[in-house]
């Protein structure tokens, strides 16, 4: 392949030309220079955030000297209101930006947008009918000085996207170090936060970043796979790759690359992935019903005090359905083990009858979801209409662990087929959200997070970063809800007796703080029935929201948020490994109400199960003092 001259492009006169695009509020500025290279810089006020970052695109087999002379410039204003089908923060999302479009020779253009809270850019192709090959897309992320980087290291493109975060200065990053997947969070010496990710990724691989030393990272991508070899009963290993990223339509837009820039609260509040992800492509979305689900795998079907043998059988799942119905939980999930062999989705193990469970659940307004490996789905697409006709509500699809062009297209093909048959989807073992769930909102969640299933490896000191990183780019299947609570050094959970890190109030507050269209209750029905007042609160927390207000936020330390659904407000507060105190006002309330709250008990710093429930009347003038112990939490509902 030959370099399509985004790198090395020159103006007709040969002189460099710099264009500027400024955000509507004037605080964010992008500069793009077309000269020996195409470079982009970004400013937050007078602070330089990104410096002369080279952008490039290698497409088709044409000499770069013939391409990429600047033909035209066009400025536009974007101002619209988006109504997400599955609103995780806001029922209405404002998309307001100033855009500059640079059009080059031979059907390549570059869109650059400046938002009040960040920047975005994408390449577009307008090269006629047929297809073209993108060999590479270049981004050199040049930082003007040493920033602090919060990243997820991976040694391979084959990853479950569940690595704990690593925190280091960018001048300590060396060429040859492990790459990182997106999103990443950067912090300038002045304390400005910069969240970097992507959206509207279609028929195209996901981006990774590779350290190059000297405060610089460069984009790297998995190549398009050519051949595969089987790996176990649930996946493939790529044995040979093409020498390109994608062979795709010759006329199309490429993925958006974006940086959210501002305060910790700006990062946690942002909706950039939603805004740039595309618009809903389904004519009817009335059947898409986000909600909560009682989950079996984490608690290992551990139920006691009953007169049947518990395990993967219909007696156990009827009991789980009964528990869900008691607390108003919308769904249950049959995770791995319900079919006799992972490879065969049509033969269930002895003791499981999916149709009978669907019918039993329907009588109690509890729907059924099924777990499947992605390879099983790929080889048996007919399972989708089969289980949809049976009344199953959704599929949890697992172990993709890749984000090359082929796998990105698997997500879309599968979600489209599920949508035809009114099935929702939760992608587990997955990459982060990158816009597909905006176009196909039957995708209600993704994993791609170090969640509670990691047991003692899921520590609040890592999870406190999630509102500012992974959850800041879309829905996140963290699977909270442990009722057997432990401070991290005491977390000795086993398969049959799992524990969750953090205090009881912390685990409860996660339902308000973390966002997912499908929110799991990970613990045993026996524990939820035993801890009924806590379960009743958890089960009352919505999974979609009309409004969100950040009350206090500091990445890596604490997060306090208020969210509204209808006339009810919920407040959640979580902390990392240090105790925190907050004085907050309820001035976001339109009127007074009655508040029920759960807080860390006096000894929760040591005995994480310790909590206290309180009630009081409140008004918009009410001031509250919140004390959170280390790895602690606080949560409330006002109605």
Residues annotated as part of the active site: 398, 453
- Widest CA span of the chain, in angstroms? 86
CA distance 456 to 630: 16
Residue 329 in tokens: 């939980």
Rg (the chain; Cα; Å): 25
Residue 232 to residues 212, 237, 383, 493, 572, Cα–Cα distance (Å): 36, 10, 21, 28, 42
CA distance 379 to 388: 17
Contact 3, 56 (CB under 8 A): yes
CA distance 634 to 508: 8
592 CB neighbour count, 10 Å cutoff: 14
Identify which of 558, 548, 40 has the alpha carbon closest to the alpha carbon of residue 270.
Answer: 548
Identify which of 507, 547, 273, 234 has the alpha carbon closest to the alpha carbon of residue 377.
Answer: 234
Residue 217 in tokens: 């990272």
Given the DSSP bridges, would you call strands 256-262 and 47-59 parallel, antiparallel or unpaired? Answer: unpaired
Q: Which helix (H) or strand (E) holds 553?
A: strand 547-554
Write phi, then psi, for 634 (nearest 5 degrees).
-155, 140
Instruction: Give the three-state DSSP class for 636.
Output: strand
Rounded to the nearest 10 degrees, how much is the dihedral formed by the CA atoms of 207, 213, 215, 218?
-20
Residue with tokens 């923060």: 89
Residue 49 to residues 46, 146, 173, 375, 488, Cα–Cα distance (Å): 9, 11, 18, 42, 36
CA distance 318 to 35: 68
């Amino acid at each position: 392949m030959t370099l399509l001259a985004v790198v090395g492009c020159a103006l007709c006169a040969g002189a460099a030309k710099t264009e500027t695009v400024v955000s509507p509020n004037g605080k964010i500025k992008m500069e793009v220079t077309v000269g020996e290279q195409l470079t982009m810089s970004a400013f937050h006020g007078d602070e330089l955030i990104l410096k002369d970052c080279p952008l490039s695109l290698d497409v088709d087999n044409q000499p770069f000297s013939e391409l990429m002379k600047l033909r035209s410039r066009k400025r536009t204003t974007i101002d619209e209101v988006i109504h997400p089908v599955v609103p995780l923060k806001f029922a209405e999302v404002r998309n307001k930006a100033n855009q500059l479009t640079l059009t080059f020779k031979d059907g390549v253009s570059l869109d650059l947008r400046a938002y009040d809270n960040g920047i975005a850019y994408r390449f577009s192709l307008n090269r006629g009918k047929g297809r073209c090959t993108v060999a590479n897309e270049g981004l050199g992320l040049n930082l003007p000085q040493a920033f602090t980087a919060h990243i997820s290291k991976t040694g391979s493109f084959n990853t479950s996207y569940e690595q704990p975060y690593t925190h280091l200065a960018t001048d300590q990053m060396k060429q040859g170090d492990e790459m990182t997947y997106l999103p990443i969070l950067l912090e300038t010496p002045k304390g400005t936060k910069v969240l970097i990710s992507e959206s509207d990724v279609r028929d195209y691989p996901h981006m990774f970043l590779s350290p190059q030393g000297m405060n610089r990272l460069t984009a790297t991508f998995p190549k398009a796979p050519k051949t595969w070899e089987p790996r176990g009963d649930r996946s493939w290993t790529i044995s040979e790759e093409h020498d390109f990223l994608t062979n795709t339509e010759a006329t199309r837009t490429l993925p958006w690359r974006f940086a959210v820039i501002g305060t910790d609260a700006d990062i946690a509040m942002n909706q950039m992935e939603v805004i740039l992800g595309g618009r809903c492509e389904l004519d009817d979305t009335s059947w898409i019903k986000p909600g909560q689900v009682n989950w079996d795998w984490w608690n290992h079907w551990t139920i006691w005090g009953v007169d049947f043998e518990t395990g993967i059988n219909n007696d156990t799942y009827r009991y789980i359905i009964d528990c869900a119905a008691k607390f108003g939980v919308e769904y249950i999930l049959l995770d791995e083990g319900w079919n006799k062999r992972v490879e065969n989705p049509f033969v269930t193990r002895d003791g499981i009858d999916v149709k009978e469970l669907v019918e039993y659940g329907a009588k109690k307004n509890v729907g059924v979801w099924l777990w499947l490996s992605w390879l099983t789905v790929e080889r048996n697409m007919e399972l989708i209409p089969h289980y949809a006709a049976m009344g199953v509500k959704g599929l949890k699809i697992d172990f993709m662990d890749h984000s090359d062009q082929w796998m990105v297209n698997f997500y879309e093909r599968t979600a489209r087929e599920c949508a035809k048959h009114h099935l929702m989807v939760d992608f587990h073992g997955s990459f982060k959200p990158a816009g597909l769930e905006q176009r196909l909102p039957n995708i209600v969640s993704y994993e791609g997070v170090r969640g509670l299933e990691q047991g003692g490896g899921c520590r609040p000191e890592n999870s406190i970063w999630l509102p500012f990183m992974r959850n800041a780019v879309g829905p996140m299947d963290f699977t909270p809800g442990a009722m057997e609570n432990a401070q991290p050094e005491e977390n000795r959970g086993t398969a049959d007796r799992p524990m969750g890190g953090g205090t009881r109030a912390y685990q409860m507050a996660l339902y308000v703080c973390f966002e997912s269209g499908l929110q799991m209750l990970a613990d045993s029905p026996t524990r939820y029935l035993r801890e009924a007042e806590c379960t009743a609160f958890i089960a009352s927390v919505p999974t979609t929201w009309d409004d969100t207000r950040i009350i206090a936020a500091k990445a890596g330390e604490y997060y306090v948020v208020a969210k509204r659904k209808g006339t009810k407000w919920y407040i959640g507060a979580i902390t990392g490994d240090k105790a925190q105190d907050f004085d907050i006002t309820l001035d976001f309330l339109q009127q007074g109400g009655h508040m029920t709250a759960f807080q860390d008990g006096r000894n929760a710093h040591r005995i994480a199960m310790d909590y206290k429930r309180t009630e009081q009347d409140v008004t918009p003038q009410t001031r509250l003092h919140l004390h959170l112990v280390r790895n602690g939490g606080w949560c409330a509902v006002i109605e």
